[in-house]
A = this chain, B = another copy of it.
Amino acid sequence: MVTPDPAAPLTPAAQRVLDAASELFYERGIHAVGVDGIAEAAGVTKKTLYDRFGSKEALVVAYLRARDARWRAHLLATLDRVPSPGTARVLAVFDAAESWSTANSPRGCSAINARAESFPGDGDAVLAEVAAQKAWQVGLLADLCREAGVREPEDTARALMLLYEGAIVTVGMGTFDRPFARARSVAAAVLGLDDPSPTA
> Interface of A with B (CB < 8 Å)?
27-32, 107-108, 111-119, 122, 130-131, 134-135, 138, 155, 158-159, 161-167, 169-170, 172-176, 179, 182-183, 185-186, 189-190
Contacts and interface: CB of A to CB of B under 8 A. Distances in A.
11 contacts: A108-B116, A113-B117, A116-B172, A158-B182, A161-B166, A161-B170, A161-B176, A162-B162, A162-B166, A162-B182, A165-B165
Contact of A179 (B31, B118, B162, B185): B162
What's the dominant secondary structure at chain A's contact region? helix
Contact of A32 (B112, B119, B131, B186): B119
Instruction: Specify how many copies of this chain sit in the oligomer.
Output: 2
A185 B158 CA distance: 12
Contacts of A111: 173
Nearest to A155: B182
A32 B56 CA distance: 14
Contact of A162 (B114, B158, B163): B163
